[in-house]
Amino acid sequence: MIVSRETSAQLERLENLIGLWNPKINLVSKRTIEDLRTRHIADSIQVVEAAGHCETWADLGSGGGFPGIVVAICRPGTEVVLVEADQRKAVFLRRVVGELGLNAKVVSSRIEDIEPLHADVISARALAPLEKLIPLALRHGRPDTRYVFPKGARFREEIATARRKWRFEIDVRPSRIDKEAAILIMERIERA
């Protein structure tokens, strides 16, 4: 995805804020902070690209803002909800939303405790294995929701395990950032 100068500037401001806050609340691991632009930001941009058009986006377990904050930066017309139960991380997310003037809101509660969000797209990065993630995400979707989950090297195993309990359509897209990872785009999820 080619981003505008304004979007690039916003992403740089996000990098700076993470650099300031990370030593205090561990938004990203120490081993990946040096490669923040590729490992987290570019990885999140490919999630944005994979999702397609949407009006509303819910990012579950937003943590340091990946991919949710990047979604809000790259798609200013999309209403983004960032769900993060860790209060310290939620404070960070609110600070970023405010400082960057993003079309996003932060909900600092457990995913299963909030009212259904009925989002067009639901994402979650490094939150839970697919079989546990599906029921958490489903209650916030609708019949036509797209679920976009970046997954690591064990994605095939996660898909096979999830298929024991769930039926779904899935598009597996290789990650451009990590040759062993993939982005799973799921639709029409229902119990098997």
What is the CATH T-level fold of the domain 5-191, as seen in this structure? Rossmann fold (3.40.50)
pTM value?
0.94
CA dihedral in degrees (62, 150, 1, 178; nearest 10)? 120
Domain limits, the chain: 5-191
Amino acid at 35: D
Confidence of residue 38 (pLDDT cuts 50, 70, 90): confident
Say whether 42 sits in a helix, a strand or coil: helix
Pairing of strands 121-124, 166-174: unpaired
Q: Tokens standing for 49?
A: 């690209």
Instruction: Provide the greatest CA pair distance for the chain.
Output: 46
Q: Tens digits of per-residue pLDDT, 139-164?
A: 999 999 999 999 999 999 999 999 99
Q: Is the pLDDT score of 35 beyond 90? A: no
Q: How does the average pLDDT of the chain come out, rounded? A: 94
